[in-house]
Copies of this chain bind each other. A is one copy, B any other.
């Protein structure tokens, strides 16, 4: 058996100069993002765009809220794009921060009464129709805005910025790759600490600590560490359960670097794997590779032959068919993958519930089939794929080995 991975196998955390370069690239690209949004606004005959999602705030303006902070931030960071400027709304708690982080936006300290400020804000843009992020704006807020300026038509829109954000610039891909490397290194550093009797909770805490002291400014999401039958819970939480010999040990985790996130799942073994578990592992690995192969083949097919790039539905089917053919179709309930960037889950979606539009490009998404046997075991293998048709690229940004790893019991 090959030696276990060690941290030095992976890229080091980005240095200060790299991070500064990313921040400059971010600021430089914002005008083109706004231009793309305004193009859509013009095409759809709306004079302004009202946004509330934290990843949209950051992508368009630089204003940054931590995950969950939007729950307590009121309307701070919500923004209104007009033909000439972007206005970032704040209350006094966030005004200084907004001026600092969003230097190219107008900061308007409206306080806590958005409906009261709404007629003035919309009036400033000259808009008579305003696009509103209807998938994120609560129904009650929608009603209050409609009432505050009855002459302004609110237009429910969804996915405009999500679609734009699905295509990644090179520095966005670099940041996702850097987050992947932080996670790769952390798991490699954790391996020697994994042994029977250590609890899921303690391993999850250690893995988090290794990421956050190893270059991550935050987690992409809470670490999942699930031992044995618990691995059958695709979104389970680590508990006081100990690692068991001859059982699976599943880690699903991600780091955040300069706003951008990673997501990876590895299912390890502690001691000699059982034949049933190994069989499922090989099946899931085969399914994952089938999806990647299908995407690769599609990229090749588009080159010079005018082929259509594969869609998220077909990519999902490539993995799902393998699992279904082995009789485990009903044990793979979730989708095969999701885009990732400023949010952990974003476009594109690789799943059986979407229309089969071609994947965007360049983009980054997960490929993560799994098989879950309730009360027995679970296996998921998840990697991030960087797809760039123009550069003939289908590469894994997660570099931690995907082969079976059986740690000493």
Interface residues of A in 89-132 (CB under 8 A from B): 91-94, 96-97, 111-113, 132
Is A82 an interface position by the 8 A CB rule?
A: no
- A158 cross-chain contacts in B, Cβ below 8 A: 140
Q: Which of B111, B134, B222, B236 contacts A97 (CB 8 A)?
A: B236
Q: Which of B68, B91, B139, B232 contacts A139 (CB 8 A)?
A: B139
- A140 cross-chain contacts in B, Cβ below 8 A: 134-135, 156, 158
Is A326 an interface position by the 8 A CB rule?
A: no
- A72 cross-chain contacts in B, Cβ below 8 A: 221, 344-345
B221 touches A212 (CB 8 A): no
A305–B53 Cα distance when bound, in Å, is 50
A43 to chain B minimum Cβ distance, whole angstroms, is 20
B221 touches A68 (CB 8 A): yes
Chain A 142-172: CB-based contact to B (< 8 A → 1; otherwise 0)? 1100000000000010100000000000000
A134–B235 Cα distance when bound, in Å, is 27
A218–B223 Cα distance when bound, in Å, is 12
Is A4 an interface position by the 8 A CB rule?
A: no
- A403 cross-chain contacts in B, Cβ below 8 A: none
Number of interface residues of A (CB under 8 A): 52
Chain A 201-240: CB-based contact to B (< 8 A → 1; otherwise 0)? 0000100010011000010011000000000111111000
B66 touches A237 (CB 8 A): yes
A73 touches B235 (CB 8 A): yes
Chain B residue at minimal CB-CB distance from A212: B205
B334 touches A92 (CB 8 A): yes
Is A374 an interface position by the 8 A CB rule?
A: yes
A235 touches B139 (CB 8 A): no
Is A343 an interface position by the 8 A CB rule?
A: yes
Is A198 an interface position by the 8 A CB rule?
A: no
Is A137 an interface position by the 8 A CB rule?
A: yes
A372 to chain B minimum Cβ distance, whole angstroms, is 8
A158–B142 Cα distance when bound, in Å, is 14
A29 to chain B minimum Cβ distance, whole angstroms, is 23
A88 to chain B minimum Cβ distance, whole angstroms, is 14
A71 touches B343 (CB 8 A): yes
A58 to chain B minimum Cβ distance, whole angstroms, is 13
B138 touches A137 (CB 8 A): yes
Interface residues of A in 268-307 (CB under 8 A from B): none
A393–B260 Cα distance when bound, in Å, is 47
Chain B residue at minimal CB-CB distance from A333: B92
Is A67 an interface position by the 8 A CB rule?
A: yes
A161 to chain B minimum Cβ distance, whole angstroms, is 14
- A372 cross-chain contacts in B, Cβ below 8 A: 92
A342–B211 Cα distance when bound, in Å, is 27
A208 to chain B minimum Cβ distance, whole angstroms, is 9
- A-B contact list, 19 entries, CB within 8 Å: A68-B68, A69-B235, A71-B343, A71-B345, A72-B221, A72-B344, A72-B345, A92-B234, A92-B333, A93-B235, A93-B334, A96-B236, A97-B233, A97-B235, A111-B333, A134-B138, A134-B143, A139-B141, A139-B156
Given contacts A72-B345, A139-B141, 5 further A-B contacts (CB under 8 A): A73-B235, A97-B236, A135-B141, A137-B138, A137-B139
